[in-house]
Amino acid sequence: MSIVVTGATGHLGRHVVEQLLEKVPAERITAVVRDEAKAAALAARGVRLAVADYDAPETLEGLFAAGDRVLLISGNEVGENRVRQHSAVVDAAKAAGVALLAYTSAPGTLTAALADDHRATEKVLLASGVPYSLLRNGWYHENYTENLAPVLEHGAVVQAAGDGRVSSAARADYAAAAAAVLTGEGHENTTYELGGDEAWSFAEYAAELSRQTGREIAYQPVPAETLTGILTGAGLPEPLAAVLAGVDASIEKGELVVTSGDLSRLAGRPTTPLADAVQAALKD
């Protein structure tokens, strides 16, 4: 029986593999990657590698075995194509008779278009009959802290979220929860609403940036249409910019506040404070 992690060299996947290596022998872990060369360091540590592509269902044949526990990390293409990709993985897992298929979804409260693919994938997974665990990941600190350059350049946090709050957490926190589900017992047919312990507003985020940089960073709320224009002006495709602005609208409505406590409970520790993520980003 292997623990199989798809997208293992991605932003979240690499954290999951690191967390698994702390819990189980490397030979029990299979990292599914598109580019084997990018996973050379994992192979050197004894992790098994498998090369497959969501867009090529034939590469998924024989990827899983009966009794495997699988983490399906959602693809990064927003739209119907992503549901098709995920469905191919679910089909392969069903055919193999895996013991558990965990899927990184979106919060159940999220109504923004970003959640549509996740809801569709959940339906496919539940209809398959495969034992599942829905890991409804909230927002990541890194969605903001990895993009500090324009904020620091202009001295402003520009969002279309009004006074809304976000229960974000670090990718490593969500990875710890996933590792707990993949290595623990009793997680079949479960749904976890995952988010940080402390929700914050963008005004508070700007104040934290100001504190840590010693510069005045202001929060500048704007309408969703304005944010879409700013993002497209920065080079994002218009459909993606509109999706991100839609997430801000959901934040303003409180849809990314998660109060379940599931994340820290699964991780076995408090979630990473936003201030720590800001500090780490400013050091890079």
Q: pLDDT (tens digit, 0 to 9) for every residue of the chain, 284 residues total?
A: 799 999 999 999 999 999 999 999 999 999 999 999 999 999 999 999 999 998 899 999 999 999 999 999 998 777 678 999 999 999 999 999 999 999 999 999 999 999 999 999 999 999 999 999 999 999 999 999 998 999 999 999 999 999 999 999 999 999 999 999 999 999 999 999 999 999 999 999 999 999 999 999 999 999 999 999 999 998 989 988 999 999 999 999 999 999 999 999 999 999 999 999 999 999 97
Closest CA to 138 of 256, 248, 7, 232: 256
Which superfamily does 3-137+171-194+259-271 belong to?
A: NAD(P)-binding Rossmann-like Domain (3.40.50.720)
Q: Tokens 């498998």, residue?
A: 50
E strand map for the chain: 3-5, 29-33, 48-51, 69-72, 100-105, 132-137, 156-159, 165-166, 190-194, 200-201, 218-221
Q: Are 224 and 160 in contact (CB under 8 A)?
A: yes
Structure tokens at 61: 């044949």
Enter the pTM of the model.
0.96
Determine the residue type at 59: T
